[in-house]
Amino acid sequence: MSAIRTLIVDPAADRRKELQLLLADQPVEITEAASSERALELLKNQLVEVVLTDTELPGKSGLYLLQTIKKNHPEIEVIVLSHNASSFNVLQALRNGAADFIVRPVDTGEPLINALNRAIDHLGRRRRQELRLRELERKNGHLNQMLARMKSLQNAVDKLASAQEVGVLLQSLVDTAMAELGADKGVLALVDQASNSLGIKAGGGIPASVTRIFSNQLPAGLLVAMARRGKPVLIPGELPEGLARLSSQAERQILLTRPGLISAPLRIREKAVGLAVVLGHAEQKPFDEQDLHYLLQLSHHATIVLEKLGLIHQLKRGREIGAFPCATGAP
């Protein structure tokens, strides 16, 4: 057990010394004060867990000190000692939050040690309760974050589903992912089925000229390597050395200017058709597994809509060239 930081407040040096001797074998680290005023000054600059105070102090009384401590430092346990064991003193002490009341003279260490142990137990229970509350708050915060993320995802899915053009769909995916994940940049690249090359079809946080230049084909580099691998990628911080070597000079200059990267493959009928990538996070909040899950879900729904738009385009084109005969019985 770590030493309990204890403040003894008593105007008489010999009584302070007596209390120290009675507590000599206990796990305490003792500081002394001769008045309420001095005790309150010490509490401003020192961490104290237990206060032992006499009621009769020069200037402000020990009961005043108790009241002030419980008002400003409610986490501190206060044990009151007094030669005056009147019911008024006892009630005043207990009503103002004293952990215990000890009647002087203290001939043996037993009542003092018992009171100290009870105070230590109170401290332990309070700390455990605070830990549970913090853990509950953390879990509630995580749950609220998940609920907000689910709502955001549903709104994004609804927006994607209403898209009537492929370009609008792709740009919406990039913009939504960047906004939700707090990313600096975003890229959506698709594979051209005829040339089997990867080209940028939508981007955010990067110059429009870059999107145009690499719209049909990206040079060999990190994005091409990730697209070929077809697996989700989560990099919270700086790129590992192996991946850094794969990146092209253009990628390092334009895309990889801040730490953090998430990549989600785009698949239609189990066939890789491209990838969505967000890059660069606020350094105090690196990308995590929840961010990767969000991008994967968003990309999955986007490919469903992408496939639907492709089929609608084929149907329209089929009608235009008469590829679909009239129903049986039609003139």
CATH of the domain at 244: 3.30.450.40
Question: Of 130, 154, 171, which one is at a domain's C-terminal end?
Answer: 130
Q: 189 near 174, Cβ under 8 Å? A: no
pLDDT value for 318 = 52
Q: How confident is the model at residue 169 (pLDDT cuts 50, 70, 90)?
A: confident
Phi-psi map region of 77: left, alpha, beta (phi>0 left; psi -120 to 50 alpha): beta
Calculate what percentage of the chain has a pLDDT beyond 70: 93
Question: Of 89, 110, 130, which one is at a domain's C-terminal end?
Answer: 130
Q: Are residues 209 and 310 in the same domain?
A: yes
Indicate whether 235 belongs to any domain: yes
Give the type of residue at 135: E
Q: Are residues 186 and 115 in the same domain?
A: no
Q: Are residues 209 and 272 in the same domain?
A: yes
Question: Of 130, 149, 174, which one is at a domain's C-terminal end?
Answer: 130
Q: How confident is the model at residue 166 (pLDDT cuts 50, 70, 90)?
A: confident
Indicate whether 143 belongs to any domain: no
Indicate whether 257 belongs to any domain: yes
Quick one: average pLDDT of 28-42?
96
Q: Are residues 171 and 114 in the same domain?
A: no
pLDDT value for 320 = 42
Per-position DSSP letters for 42-104, written without gaps between them: HHHHS--SEEEEES--SSS-HHHHHHHHHHH-TTSEEEEEES---HHHHHHHHHTT-SEEEES
pLDDT value for 327 = 33
- Helix and strand totals (H; E) in the chain: 11, 10
Residue found by looking up tokens 């019911």 in the block: 87
What's the distance, Cα to Cα, between the start and end of the chain in Å? 95
When mean pLDDT is compared over 63-67, 103-107, 160-164, 219-223, the highest value belongs to 63-67
Q: Are residues 81 and 224 in the same domain?
A: no
pLDDT digits (tens, 9 = 90+) for 71-115: 999 999 999 999 888 888 889 999 999 999 999 888 888 999 999
Q: How confident is the model at residue 269 (pLDDT cuts 50, 70, 90)?
A: confident
Indicate whether 210 belongs to any domain: yes
For residues 144 and 4, what is the distance between their CA atoms, to the nearest angstrom? 38
pLDDT at residue 128 greater than cutoff 50: yes
Strand order in the sheet with 50-54: 28-33, 4-9, 50-54, 77-82, 100-103
Domain that holds residue 168: 163-320
User: Measured between alpha carbons, how far is residue 151 from residues 126, 157, 158, 174, 180 in Å?
Assistant: 37, 10, 11, 18, 11
Quick one: average pLDDT of 12-20?
94
pLDDT value for 11 = 96
Q: 303 near 163, Cβ under 8 Å? A: no
pLDDT at residue 325 greater than cutoff 70: no
Q: Are residues 174 and 27 in the same domain?
A: no
Q: How confident is the model at residue 331 (pLDDT cuts 50, 70, 90)?
A: very low
pLDDT at residue 30 greater than cutoff 90: yes
Q: Are residues 238 and 114 in the same domain?
A: no
SS3 27: coil
pTM over 0.75: no
Q: Are residues 13 and 103 in the same domain?
A: yes
pLDDT at residue 150 greater than cutoff 60: yes
Q: Are residues 174 and 299 in the same domain?
A: yes
Q: Are residues 80 and 195 in the same domain?
A: no
Q: Are residues 41 and 85 in the same domain?
A: yes
Nearest to 230 by CA among 191, 187, 182, 282: 191
Indicate whether 282 belongs to any domain: yes
Q: How confident is the model at residue 305 (pLDDT cuts 50, 70, 90)?
A: confident
Indicate whether 296 belongs to any domain: yes
Q: How confident is the model at residue 5 (pLDDT cuts 50, 70, 90)?
A: very high
pLDDT value for 317 = 54
Quick one: average pLDDT of 130-159?
82
For residues 323 and 313, what is the distance between their CA atoms, to the nearest angstrom? 13
pLDDT at residue 316 greater than cutoff 70: no
Q: Are residues 103 and 170 in the same domain?
A: no
Give the type of residue at 214: F
Domain CATH number, residue 42 = 3.40.50.2300
pLDDT digits (tens, 9 = 90+) for 202-234: 999 999 888 888 988 888 999 999 998 999 999
* 278 phi, psi to nearest 5 deg: -120, 145
Indicate whether 46 belongs to any domain: yes
pLDDT digits (tens, 9 = 90+) for 176-206: 999 989 999 999 999 887 788 899 999 999 9
Q: How many domains does the chain have?
A: 2
Indicate whether 155 belongs to any domain: no
pLDDT value for 313 = 55
